[in-house]
Amino acid sequence: MANLLSTGISGLNAAQVALNTVGNNITNAGTDGYSREVVRQAERVAPPSNRFTVGNGVDVVAVERAYSSYLTSAVWSSNANLSRATTYNDLATTLNSMLSASGDLQGALDNFYGAFDTVANASAAGDTSARQALLGNASTVASVFTTLGAQLDSQQKQINGQITNTVKSINTTLDNIASLNRKIHDSLGSGTPNALLDQRDALVNSLSGYLGVTAVSEADGTYSVYSSSGQSLVSGSHAFKLSTGSDPYDTARVNVLDSSGGDITSRISGGSLGALLDYRSNVLDSAQNRLGQAAIGLATSVNAQQGKGLDLNGQLGKPIFALPAPQALPASSNAGTATVAAQVTDVAALDSADYTLRYDGSAWSMTTTGGQPVALTTNPDGSLSGAGLTLAISGAAQAGDSFRIQPTRNAASGLTVSLTDPSGIAAAAALQSKAASANTGSGALSSLQVTDASNPALLTGVTVAFPTAGTYTLTDAGGTVLGSGAYTAGQTLSANGWSLTLSGAPAAGDSFAISANSNGLNDNANALALAGLADTGVLAGGSRSVIENYTLLTTEIGNAGSQAASNLTTQTSLHGQAMSAQQAVSGVNLDEEAANLVKYQQAYQASAQVISTAQSIFSSLLAAVQR
């Protein structure tokens, strides 16, 4: 009878625990990170008997989480990938919107180059209306470039802020995980703290969205948490916090540091923080550089051709555009006093890369920021040339000093129109050639090109004479022979910053006079040459025009956006699959819990009936004994 009562009480207690557990599952069905709890029961072992054994009831062994560490880790991993894809797609979408909302650069370039045609076709060379319109188009082009550059600069600043805020969120989460580690460790002696375990898993899931992590369960019940690239983030109750600091070259650029102050920016790849850093390095920096490359190509090619013509005042054309100088940023760790001044000297060789210039104690070397070596040559004045740049170094460098060279980064945002006088547009060719009236050969001017507009003798007169059919002499107005030698048909002759090519065969005694263009007001040759720059390859070794370079930029940005959107779709699907698999084990099924509620309610009632029966039997026994 006592055994019957004890058995009933054990069943009642077990059913009570089960009902409480089912009720807790039902009330937390919508709680993020909650793992369904399961009651583990075991039959009480009865003492041995000579004839038979009757059970002593039931014990609740544990209330456990329905949990799979493998599936939970898969959710963390997929959450890191989804967060990264979401952030990357948001940034790429914003960039594409900026590109379309900042003005039509393609149209502005077309109108600008077309305006040179309009100047060339103007009925009166002195009519300044077409020239004034051209300067207006130049201002429009510069404005679109600077607007785009400012938008890209703005996104750089926004990303810096997002990196800082994300690191703060990471550190808060690390502190909370370390705190829960301590609470869980302290609670293990009095049972399994399921709620604390769920809270910790939820925090690790949040952390994975920021950074991408792995968590290792230790024997003492704590988690050791590591970033996807191996940095220790949490060990026991200690959090190894991250921090932010300035880039060693660019103080306006935010980098990520580990707990010891080491720069780990390039080692972070997962989560939203990895997306911010990856997008900044591989999309935004490249977009700024590509846009700057187009601005440099435009200004350099137009200014160079402008300088080869004559304006309405009979002067060689002055630059239409002005550009900021390339940046040469010293490393914060430099011990020497050296400074570097960079200048673009070969726009065709100019790439859209950034470079690192290093001094090893005896020589300078340069690589792209991706580590690709760049050949450097030393000029007679001691400067260095490479990648379309000339680098003038002054001061004393120490071994290990370095500089970040950014030739194109700020060119677009710093592009301005420097020519304000419409009469300063050099529409006319700078030089003219005139054959002597007594010439008897078939030689005729094929081309006369300015090769060096900075030559001070460019506009001085030169006579090209052919003493014999196979020889030539170049003589200036003072009788000084500038050059002579054997001549073959089609040979290029050069002097004073120009080059000349004749067709046909000059006869002995023939001559040609090269002089400043006296017909400048009625000549449009240089305006036509400026208009032709629209289709002229000035970048990428002369294979790509400025317009084609901008088209390449829009294609690269469009591709980045398309790939980001596609990856987001993929990662959303994969995360959904991981969540479904995890929830199939750990999630609360309300239908199942409702059935369990009825089941344990009936068990509770049945156990209560057992107790009542034992009490009735005991009462009957007492009554019988009392008679």
Q: What are 75's strand-pairing partners?
A: none
How many Cβ atoms are within 10 Å of 200's Cβ, its own excluded? 26
Residue 37 CA to residue 18 CA, distance in Å, equals 10
pTM of the model: 0.87
Residue-by-residue DSSP string for 577-607: HHHHHHHHHHS--HHHHHHHHHHHHHHHHHH
Residue 263 phi/psi, 5° resolution? Answer: -80, 115
C-beta separation of 312 from 524 below 8 A: no
Residue 266 phi/psi, 5° resolution? Answer: -75, -10
**What integer best gives the mean pLDDT of the chain?**
92
Instruction: Give the pLDDT means over successive 10-residue stretches in the chain (627 positions).
Output: 76 86 89 89 77 77 89 95 97 91 87 94 73 96 95 95 97 96 87 90 95 92 91 95 95 94 92 96 95 97 95 92 96 95 95 96 94 95 95 95 96 96 92 92 92 91 94 93 93 94 94 86 87 95 94 93 96 95 91 89 86 80 74
Per-residue model confidence (pLDDT) at position 2? 56
Residue 92 CA to residue 88 CA, distance in Å, equals 6
Per-residue model confidence (pLDDT) at position 50? 64
Per-residue model confidence (pLDDT) at position 123? 54
Per-residue model confidence (pLDDT) at position 126? 62
Q: Which residue reads 């009330």 in tokens? A: 27
Residue 364 CA to residue 143 CA, distance in Å, equals 38
Per-residue model confidence (pLDDT) at position 124? 59
Instruction: For the chain, give the longest Cα–Cα distance.
Output: 163
Per-residue model confidence (pLDDT) at position 6? 82
How many Cβ atoms are within 10 Å of 382's Cβ, its own excluded? 9
145-193 pLDDT per residue, tens? 999 999 999 999 999 999 999 999 999 999 999 999 999 999 887 778 9
C-beta separation of 4 from 613 below 8 A: yes
| Residue ranges covered by each domain of the chain | 2-66+589-626, 72-286+545-579, 325-408, 431-516
Q: Is 349 exposed, middle or buried (0-12, 13-18, 19+ CB in 10 A)?
A: middle
C-beta separation of 419 from 425 below 8 A: yes
Residue 21 CA to residue 28 CA, distance in Å, equals 11
Q: What is the 3-state secondary structure (H, E, C) of 120-154?
A: HCCCCCCCCHHHHHHHHHHHHHHHHHHHHHHHHHH
